[in-house]
Structure 1
Amino acid sequence: MQKESTTEQHKVYLGLGSNLGNRKAIMREAIEKINEKVGAVVRQSSFYETAPWGYESPNKFINACIRIDSPLAPHDLLETTQKIEHELGRVHKTSLNRYEDRIIDIDILLYDNLEISEPDLQIPHPLMYKRDFVMRPLKEIL
């Protein structure tokens, strides 16, 4: 499938999280891959250590948000970030609201002023306002 892209750059905010392995190194690698494959990283929040949300685990998360300028269309952005997750060792995405530990999670939070509500893609991210681990780093870079 050919990527749909233009010379137009879109302002995109992504949320990242990791609670397995060398969390900080994985986050840095994810940000590098995003910069290479998705678009230029323009801003990056601090790393925040947080408790898991929506399930019990002894493994704390490292969370951050980044702002990128990307030529990718929304669905191509989703596909590319999911490929990056897979390259970094993520086996499957959360389904049926059943959360679990994960090596990396990359969520599309905002994409320009776009609103999308489809089964596989929702922008703005529908739960971001309920999650302090998203809103704190996001506010840092807005």
Structure 2
Amino acid sequence: MGLTPPFYAYIALGSNIGDRERFLLQAIRQLDAQGSIKVSAQSNIYETEPVGVTDQDSFLNMVIEVVTTLEPLELLQVMQSVEQSLGRTREVRWGPRTIDLDLLLFEDIRLSEPQLTLPHPRMMERAFVLVPLAEIVQSHHSQQSAEWTALAERFNGKEGITLWKRT
């Protein structure tokens, strides 16, 4: 990779089965409990309409910023382990799930591997990703704030995304 740790990464979280908020918070706790990952910021929680398969319950979504010593594929493995521990099954693409963790950005890395593409290939199309991501960038990274805020404003209040809970 050519970079030296620690690395900054952004992870989107979503849940639409059971106690949605509890699944989000458990995923954050499990990630933060890893010695190689520290959650450094988190967005508010948003309720959003499902995308893709629309005949399912609404999602709770948020984004977290982590500082990690792991490489991107190693971080992805930890994320998938957390999903599995919280009962995630992959039966229907974009279907209902207890927890979904998507690696959005990892430093300025561009990566195209069978198991991971960075930046996340569909993040710029999704209000449920851009709105909470812009929230974190605004509060923690002022030099990038204007660009992300402009992107998020295109979606805010549209596409079925509403603030559910301030964190």
TM, length-normalised to structure 2: 0.77
1:57, 1:101 within 8 Å by CA — same for their partners in 2? no
Distance 1:9 1:136 in 2: 25
Secondary structure of 1:90's match?
A: coil
Q: Displacement, 1:91?
A: 1.9
% identity of equivalent residues: 39
Higher relative contact order (CA 8 A, sep 6+): 1
From the superposition, tell whether residues 22 and 81 of structure 1 become closer, same or farther in structure 2 (CA, over 3 Å).
Answer: same
More helix by percentage: 2
Aligned to 2:27: 30
Whether 2:122 is the aligned partner of 1:127: answer yes
Whether 2:115 is the aligned partner of 1:117: answer no
Aligned to 1:91: 89
More strand by percentage: 1
Indicate the RMSD between aligned Cα atoms, in angstroms.
1.6
Unpaired segments ≥5 residues, structure 1: 1-6
Distance 2:85 2:56 in 1: 25
Q: Displacement, 1:116?
A: 0.3
Q: Displacement, 1:93?
A: 7.0
TM, length-normalised to structure 1: 0.90
2:17, 2:57 within 8 Å by CA — same for their partners in 1? yes
Q: Displacement, 1:81?
A: 0.3
Unpaired segments ≥5 residues, structure 2: 138-167
**Which stretches of structure 1, 4 residues or more, deviate above 6 A after TM superposition?**
none
Which of 75, 78, 87 is 1:77 aligned to? Answer: 75
